[in-house]
Amino acid sequence: MILRKVGYVGAAYREQYDGKMKDAYYPVNEFVLYWGKERWTVPNSLKDSLSWIISKREKRKRSSFKN
């Protein structure tokens, strides 16, 4: 889902950059609406999605300080 959103936002900015919009550049805002019956359990941000990578790095740093 995150990569799809990044693709959409990138495409919107690329369209502005390529000159199809010559007047001005506009910020791209993105929204995700979830209408499912089950509770949303996916992380709400990119930072939350990548937290397992960050925690791995922190563990490595801590273990290197102990030695």
Residue 66: per-residue pLDDT:
57
Taking the domains of the chain in order of start, what are their residue ranges?
2-66
Digit-coded pLDDT (tens) for 15-27: 888 876 667 778 8
Query: In degrees rounded to 5, what are phi and psi of residue 35?
Result: -115, 15
Residue 31, Ramachandran bin (φ over 0: left; ψ between -120 and 50: alpha; else beta): beta
The answer to whether 9 and 28 have CB atoms below 8 angstroms apart is yes
Q: pTM value?
A: 0.45
Question: Looking at per-residue confidence, does 64 or 33 come out higher?
Answer: 33
